[in-house]
Amino acid sequence: MHLLYLDDSGSIANKNEEYFVLGGVCVPETSVYWLSNQLEKIATTIAPGNSRQIEFHASEIFSGRRFPWNNYKSRDERAQILKNILLVLQDAHSDIVVFACAIHKESFPHDDLMSKAFEDLSSRFDMYLHRISTPKHYEKGLIILDKTTYENSLQELAKSFRLEGNRWGSRLKHIPEVPFFVDSKASRLTQLADHIAYAVFRRYNANDLNYFNCIENRFDQSDGVLHGLAHLQTNNPHCTCPACITRR
């Protein structure tokens, strides 16, 4: 079983932001403890003896307005914490991969962007599981998201994709259950998903590569194509981001 932890970054309603991102990390069930423990070690350095009270939320660390991040007065210090969280993937096994979908909001003014991003990533996740399956071992996956107002709609959407197919006519054959929703405070890997989504958001919305560079080599890829990253837009046919350029 492979678990895909997802979270979103950017506000669909905020007209000052150009992008909305859904992203996260795919982890084999055998690696969940190891990866969670790597993040717990970072929390322990921030609050020794009280690490469970630390929730890694990327935008809060970046802004430094709330405790405990307001104790770090230097933006560079807070940026390093963000990077350290993302860099736990450096030592991870190669079967821990990253997925994200960045949507240029003005390109799709009439679409439900959360549903659009979820449809894209659930399809990519299913294709990844199909690609790594063997005749002797049929890989299955489960999607886990932070609790959200989209819970009911995404569960219905996933059920529809599994039974009837998505817009491309493909049914989700490797994802046997609807998404599960958890409180991010209780899940270090949901917090990591938040950081991955934020890193992709900063890359597209602010042209800030500082965090994206920490995870670029972890996106699912095969035969020179970056399958794990989608850049959905209609405003720049000559985009040279990794997602676009590897598909030309």
The span from the CA of 86 to the CA of 53, in Å, is: 20
Among 184, 232, 200, 245, smallest CA distance to 98 is for: 200
Residue ranges per structural domain of the chain: 2-114+145-153+178-245
The span from the CA of 38 to the CA of 40, in Å, is: 5
- What pLDDT, in 10s, does the model give residues 24-75? 999 999 999 999 999 999 999 999 988 989 999 999 999 999 999 999 999 9
pTM of the model: 0.94
Q: Assess whether pLDDT exceeds 70 at residue 149.
A: no
- What pLDDT, in 10s, does the model give residues 156-211? 877 787 767 667 667 788 988 888 889 898 999 999 999 999 999 999 999 999 99
Among 188, 212, 177, 186, smallest CA distance to 87 is for: 212
Half-sphere exposure (Cβ direction) of 131: Cα atoms closer than 13 Å: 13
Type of residue numbered 182: V
- What pLDDT, in 10s, does the model give residues 226-237? 999 999 999 999
- Burial of residue 151 (CB within 10 Å: 0-12, 13-18, 19+) is middle
Computed over every residue of the chain, the mean pLDDT equals 92
For every residue of 10-40, DSSP letters joined together read S-SS-TT--EEEEEEEEEEGGGHHHHHHHHH
Residue 168 has what pLDDT? 64
> What does each C-alpha distance from 8 to 90, 100, 188, 240 come to in angstroms?
22, 9, 15, 23
Residue 235 has what pLDDT? 93
β partners of residue 196: none
Provide, rounded to the nearest whole percent, the portion of the chain with pLDDT above 90.
Answer: 77
Are 87 and 214 spatial neighbours (Cβ–Cβ below 8 Å)? yes
